[in-house]
Every structure is written in structure tokens, then in C-alpha cells.
Chain A
């Protein structure tokens, strides 16, 4: 993450703040993701016939 942040030009102080917020979000999100049934479909499903009419 640090390497990619340097590439993206995010200053150190902001990077630290970002990491702190994301850590908290990940802590809430990971258990939800881990509990998903293996075959659970995405809400965004590709439909071949869809498109502009």
C-alpha cells in the first residue's frame, strides 16, 4: 500500500489518516464478506443483450 501510495502522490500525513479510516472500514466489512455464500451473485450482473436501444 505504501509503495502504491507513493506512486499515487498521496502525502504521508494524508496516507496515515486514510489508512486509519480504511482499517476501521475493513474491520467492519471483512466479516461480512467472509460470510457470503460461495455462489452469491453480484448485484451488478452482466447481461449480454442489454445496451442502448
Chain B
């Protein structure tokens, strides 16, 4: 059952908060041996919390649509009194004394935490094949990666264990597992959701957001998560809107379809599926407009420079103990240490100009539509993929269409738009102007409806 349906069933007294929590916990027990999506299960706490929430509902206190909904948090989000590993040997036994803003807001909305999800080590990678806590597996094919870094969250939602799981996204880490696992993944505008208590990786790039089964569910989660937080200087004072999509018409909304970059070196089945979704969107009333996007390859290079420098700066104090890190993460951290400081400053200067280019582009269109990823989920352990005759590193191929959006801080969503011939999910990415999440979610919902 998705989040909105569970919320409706609770209010119709067809199910209790305790029964929803028990169901999620039963599924974890049944499936986690196969998927390795959860690092910590908070069974006792969840059942206690669910019973208290049942008593609240019986007494007429309803906290809203998340009341009694079981959910999971990526294990890089602090949970006071509950282990938070960041997928790292450094914090393998770390129990934080404070909670992340995401956890606090979910708690106050009445959502029931059932566990913490596995991730790529320190959220720095796309496979979620964690050297310390084991490989996370894709529920659609357990020999394949779920994507990352929020791989456990993607797998948990895709397997139907929970209707909602939180992730974080520094270079695509919410949208990537959403696309590979066939869920919805939402990264709101930089500064819309507080990052407080999210263990940092790339300070100027990272976002916290939900993975869900439907666009409506992502909107419900965002309403609870969004808003100013004095502990995160990047958060905005803009009022939180009502993001839940209504059935308002999308007629005339201009969707830019890139003529350059986004459909190049993309698997044929991915391209066909995304084109099919855009056709459905057009039938629903949107206007498709061909556009030329800024040099995304250049933005990806700039983004790599920024992230390498920011991540290595943060991890410098731990790098004299190389045995703490897996080889892929250590390689990236080494790279960041040897980048000249001038490169970092120039990357941030180029970033400002890129922001201006996107602002100009969004005068022509209201949204952009692209494939989320050029490929479907690679096999576990696969290092290279061949796309239209060109061999490419799995990490670079996986981040190619998503990471530039973190550099610009734009809101973006990935939603399922089909499957390849082997049954692996394909994602459509929609991108909007800063703080236009309401429009983004309305159009995403319309596409989802058109495809169903």
C-alpha cells in the first residue's frame, strides 16, 4: 500500500498504526536477508511509537497524512539514540546525541521509523556495494545494483517494505536509486529542506529528500520536510507551499526537451521509454518544446571539481587511517587532496555563470524533461558499461544526467516511465526553476497518471 492509501485506510479504521508498522517489520524480516537494504531495524521503538499514535487517533488527535506511516531513514541522517553509521567504518558504532532535521520533522508529523537504510560508503558513490556493511541488491534483479548512494532507501521502497524512505542527493543520490529501482525520488531546491544532521559530503551540493512509490507520496513527504531551519544557513525563509498535486490542468505548460546531450549515448530502450512518456504528457496537455541546454558535460566537470575538493576537505582528518575506507571512496578522497585550491575557486566562479545560463533557459520553458540515467541498473561489480559502442565508467555514466542539477540547485524528480526488455525500470527526470516544486509535482503527477 502506498503512503496516501495507507493514510486513507488508517482514517477509515481499516488498519491501525501498529498493524502498518508490523507489516513493514515483517517484510524487513522476510526480505532483508536478500536485499541488505537495512542496517538497523528499530522494531521495539516502532511498535511502541505506533501504539501511542493509535491512541492519539482514537483520542481525536490527527497529525496529518504521515500519522502512523512506517518509513525508513538513510543511515547518514542522525537519529538521537539510534546508531548512525554513514555506511562507514569510522562511525560503525556511532550513536548520535542529536537528531537530524529530517528525523525531527518526520517524528513530529507522526511517521514511524522502522529502520535505517544501507548506503554507499559515506554516501560517496553510485553502487551501494558497501565494503563494510555489504552489497545492497536491486529488488527487480538481485544480481544488479540498486544505485546509490541512497541504495537501501530505493530498494526498501521498491520492494514494498515501506512506502517512504529518506535519502540524500549530492550528485544524484536520490534520483539514481529511484531510477534503477523504479520508485519516485525527489530532490527539492537547494535550501528548501534542512540538511541539519545529514552527515556532510559536499557542503554546497547536498540535499535531503524522499523516495516513494508515487508522486503524491513524495509531495506529502516534502510538505513535512520543507521549511526554514536556523541550524542550516542554506535554508530559505520562503513559505512552504501545499505540494500535494491536485488534478489541475497541465494544459499549455511548456516542457523543454533537450536537443543536445541528454539523449546522446543513451540506451535505445531508455530513449524510447522517455519519448513514450513525453508523448503521454503531450496528450495530457503539456506543450513540448525542443531546447538546447547549456554545456552539461562542462557542468559535470565543474561539479566533479567541487565535490572532490569539498569531500576531501571534510575527510582530511581521517585520511591518515587509510584502512578505514574502501578502495573506490579512498581513490576519490585522494583525488580531492591533490586538486589545486585555484581549481575549486574557479569551479565556484564557473558555477555562478552556469546558474545564469539556466535562468535564461527557464525563460523559454517551464520545466525540462530528460532521462534520469542513460542506462538501466548494471550488474553488481560491473565497472564499465558500453552504450552505443562507447565504453564508459559505471559511476560517470550513472551520474551523467543528474549531477549538474545539484550544481545549479534546481528541484528535480525522477519517476518511473517504463521498463527495458529484461524488466528493469527506467526513469524520467523533470527539472524546474528554483522553488517551483508545486509545478514540478503537478506535472510529474500528470505524467504518472497518463502513463498508468
- B331 and A9 contacting across the interface, CB-CB below 8 Å: no
> How long is the Cα–Cα vector from A37 to B319 in the complex, in angstroms?
36
With A10-B334, A40-B352 already in contact, the answer to whether A32 and B231 are too (CB < 8 A) is no
CB under 8 Å from chain A, chain B span 332-348: 334-335, 337-339, 342-343, 345-348
> How long is the Cα–Cα vector from A40 to B348 in the complex, in angstroms?
10
The chain A residue sitting closest to B305, CB to CB, is A29
Q: In the A-B complex, list the 6 residue pairs whose CB atoms are closest, starting with the nearest.
A: A33-B346, A43-B351, A42-B348, A43-B352, A28-B301, A40-B349
CB distance from A43 to the nearest CB of B (A): 4
A-B contact pairs, 14 of them (CB 8 A): A4-B338, A5-B338, A21-B335, A22-B339, A25-B308, A32-B298, A32-B301, A32-B302, A33-B347, A42-B348, A42-B351, A43-B348, A43-B351, A52-B231
CB distance from B17 to the nearest CB of A (A): 36
Q: Is B320 interfacial (CB-CB < 8 Å)?
A: yes
Task: Say what secondary structure dominates the interface of chain B.
Answer: helix
Interface string of A25-38 (1 = CB under 8 A from B): 11011001100110
Q: Is B322 interfacial (CB-CB < 8 Å)?
A: yes
> How long is the Cα–Cα vector from A37 to B350 in the complex, in angstroms?
9
Chain A residues, Cβ within 8 Å of B330: 14
Residue of B231, B334, B343, B349 touching A42 (CB-CB under 8 A): B349
- B233 and A33 contacting across the interface, CB-CB below 8 Å: no
CB under 8 Å from chain B, chain A span 2-52: 4-5, 8-10, 14-15, 17-19, 21-22, 25-26, 28-29, 32-33, 36-37, 40-44, 50-52
- A36 and B233 contacting across the interface, CB-CB below 8 Å: no
- The tally of residues in A whose CB lies under 8 Å from a CB in B reads 30
Q: Is B355 interfacial (CB-CB < 8 Å)?
A: yes
Q: Is B105 interfacial (CB-CB < 8 Å)?
A: no
Q: Is B360 interfacial (CB-CB < 8 Å)?
A: no
Q: Is B2 interfacial (CB-CB < 8 Å)?
A: no
- A25 and B349 contacting across the interface, CB-CB below 8 Å: no
- A51 and B233 contacting across the interface, CB-CB below 8 Å: yes
CB distance from B125 to the nearest CB of A (A): 15
Chain B residues, Cβ within 8 Å of A9: 320, 322
> How long is the Cα–Cα vector from A48 to B343 in the complex, in angstroms?
24
> How long is the Cα–Cα vector from A51 to B232 in the complex, in angstroms?
9
Q: Is B304 interfacial (CB-CB < 8 Å)?
A: yes
- A1 and B338 contacting across the interface, CB-CB below 8 Å: yes
> How long is the Cα–Cα vector from A5 to B322 in the complex, in angstroms?
14
> How long is the Cα–Cα vector from A28 to B230 in the complex, in angstroms?
38
- The tally of residues in B whose CB lies under 8 Å from a CB in A reads 33
Chain B residues, Cβ within 8 Å of A25: 301, 304-305, 308, 335
CB distance from B395 to the nearest CB of A (A): 11
The chain A residue sitting closest to B351, CB to CB, is A43
Chain B interface residues toward A at CB < 8 A: 204, 230-231, 233, 297-298, 301-302, 304-305, 308, 319-320, 322, 330-331, 334-335, 337-339, 342-343, 345-353, 355
Chain B residues, Cβ within 8 Å of A37: 353
> How long is the Cα–Cα vector from A41 to B353 in the complex, in angstroms?
8
> How long is the Cα–Cα vector from A25 to B233 in the complex, in angstroms?
31
- B298 and A8 contacting across the interface, CB-CB below 8 Å: no
Chain B residues, Cβ within 8 Å of A32: 298, 301-302, 346, 350
Chain A residues, Cβ within 8 Å of B204: 43-44
- A18 and B335 contacting across the interface, CB-CB below 8 Å: yes
Chain A residues, Cβ within 8 Å of B337: 8, 10
- A18 and B331 contacting across the interface, CB-CB below 8 Å: yes
Chain A residues, Cβ within 8 Å of B319: 8
Residue of B345, B347, B355 touching A29 (CB-CB under 8 A): B347
> How long is the Cα–Cα vector from A28 to B304 in the complex, in angstroms?
11
Chain B residues, Cβ within 8 Å of A33: 342-343, 346-347, 350
- B335 and A36 contacting across the interface, CB-CB below 8 Å: no
**Residue picked from B231, B330, B349, most chain A C-beta under 10 Å:** B349
The chain B residue sitting closest to A34, CB to CB, is B346
